[in-house]
Amino acid sequence: MDAIATLRGKYLEQIGAAPDADALESVRLAALGKKGEISLKMRELGQMSAEERQTAGPALNALKSEVDAALKARKSALEDAALDARLKSEWLDVTLPGRPRPMGTIHPISQVMDELTAIFADMGFAVAEGPQIESDWYNFDALNIAPEHPSRQEMDTFYMHRAAGDERPPHVLRTHTSPVQIRAMQNQGAPIRIIAPGRVYRMDMDQTHTPMFHQVEGLAIDRDISMAQLKWTLEEFCRAFFEVDEVELRFRASHFPFTEPSAEVDIRCSWEGGQLKIGEGKDWLEILGSGMVHPKVLQAGGIDPNEWQGFAFGMGIDRIAMLKYGIPDLRAFFESDLRWLRHYGFASLDQPSLAAGLSRV
């Protein structure tokens, strides 16, 4: 009996002191494993007399059950403690402020393109595109710019390289978005209402010129399109774009080979203390060229000028971006200076829409 009490005391103490699951398993093996002390004791029952067995048997069985229960209890206590410890170490403070991530900005040119696309879309204009490397025919001939026409020189064109022996006129980096007019006419026929924003190229570089810049072309063709509709469309655009109630546009007679009649358009503005205000004052700023599409241009696009007529315009996007957002130097647009981009750039979630207002708040 003493032996059993000793075993009981020894193992209950070891179980209570086992610091983790591994230690507890060693205690279990030492007590109840195949060669465990209690298991061996139970095997000894076979050699005992029936009388001895009668007392030792139940006592050993009771010891075995008690140790077994103690092992289970300790095991679940250790598991609970481990879970508590894990929960403590994995605790997440959802009230902490988020970690800042470096974020890019939307370039003012992209922003302004989105704005003007939204405004013209609202007036029923779809967006059309054309290639930046353009054939001589699309960039000049189809637009009624003859080979000897001075505007070919005025445009300061970048010509592409031609393989030796290739006699075709070289392709050009498009000098304006006007060739997209021809492509749109060929692709969809009349009637047409499109704008074509995009990059254009000319050999020019000073505070207001860069060799690459942006234009948006506009083209509306139908049976009865008039200059009055051109004027209304441009006024509506300027009101929405510059976010002023009243704008005043001045149409100056001008000349472009691809329009007849042609007009350059100025917008009324004031410069006071270096601050530009659109829609008031006594200064005028030129923002675009426009006119009624020349019959020869319609013909080049495969549209019958006896049946259809239209207006067209070409506007400098960089110019109107500078005006709207008070950006003084055009060259800075394309220098990729991070300080400039952070200052003049827009947040990516600040999407222009007619309902939400078009500018940053």
Residues that bind ligand DAH (CB under 6 A): 176, 178, 217, 256, 259, 289-291, 312-314
Rounded least distance, CB 130 to ligand DAH, Å: 13
CA distances to 21, 103, 126, 308, 339 from 348, rounded to whole Å, are 54, 9, 23, 42, 17
346 phi and psi, to 5 degrees? -115, 150
Minimum distance from residue 290 beta carbon to ligand DAH (Å)? 5
In the complex with ligand DAH, which residue's Cβ is closer, 237 or 256? 256
Least distance in angstroms from the C-beta of 217 to ligand DAH: 6
Q: Which is closer to ligand DAH, CB of 320 or CB of 358?
A: 320
Per DSSP, the three-state class of 155 is: coil
Q: How far is the CB of 119 from ligand DAH (least distance, A)?
A: 18
Pairing of strands 212-222, 309-316: antiparallel
Q: Tokens 């392709």, residue? A: 171
| Residues facing 291 on adjacent strands | 262, 312
Burial zone of 158 (CB within 10 Å; 0-12 exposed, 13-18 middle, 19+ buried): middle
Return the number of the residue (24 or 142) whose C-beta is nearest ligand DAH: 142
Please give the distance of CA 320 from its chain centroid, rounded to a whole number. Answer: 23
CA neighbor of 198 nearest in space, from 281, 299, 316: 316
Residue 312 Cβ vs ligand DAH, minimum distance, rounded to whole Å: 4
Choose between 140 and 242: whose C-beta lies nearer to ligand DAH.
140
Backbone dihedral angles phi then psi of residue 311, each to the nearest 5 degrees = -110, 160
Burial class (CB in 10 A: 0-12, 13-18, 19+), 348: exposed
| Bridge partners of residue 161, in order along the sequence | none
**Angstrom distance (rounded) from CA 200 to CA 227:** 26
Q: Which residue lies nearer to ligand DAH by CB, 14 or 178?
A: 178
How far is 361 from 359, CA to CA, in rounded Å?
Answer: 6
Can you read off the two tokens belonging to residue 187? 């692709």
CB of 300 to ligand DAH, least distance (A): 14
For the bound state, the minimum distance from the C-beta of residue 93 to ligand DAH, rounded and expressed in Å, comes to: 59
Cα separation, 340 vs 330, in Å, equals 12
Nearest residue (CB) to ligand DAH, 115 versus 217: 217
Block residue for tokens 């595109």: 129
Q: What is the distance between the alpha carbons of residues 256 and 140, in angstroms, rounded to a whole number?
A: 12
Q: Which is nearer to ligand DAH, 176 or 268 (CB)?
A: 176
Q: Which is nearer to ligand DAH, 248 or 264 (CB)?
A: 264
Nearer to ligand DAH, 111 or 259 (CB): 259
How many Å apart are CA 41 and CA 98, to the nearest integer?
Answer: 64
197 vs 289, which CB is nearer to ligand DAH? 289
The minimum distance between CB 336 and ligand DAH, in angstroms, equals: 25
Least distance from C-beta 127 to ligand DAH, angstroms?
16
Q: How far is the CB of 168 from ligand DAH (least distance, A)?
A: 23
Look up residue 106 and give its amino acid: I
- Cα-Cα-Cα-Cα torsion 138, 139, 141, 145, nearest 10 degrees, comes to 150
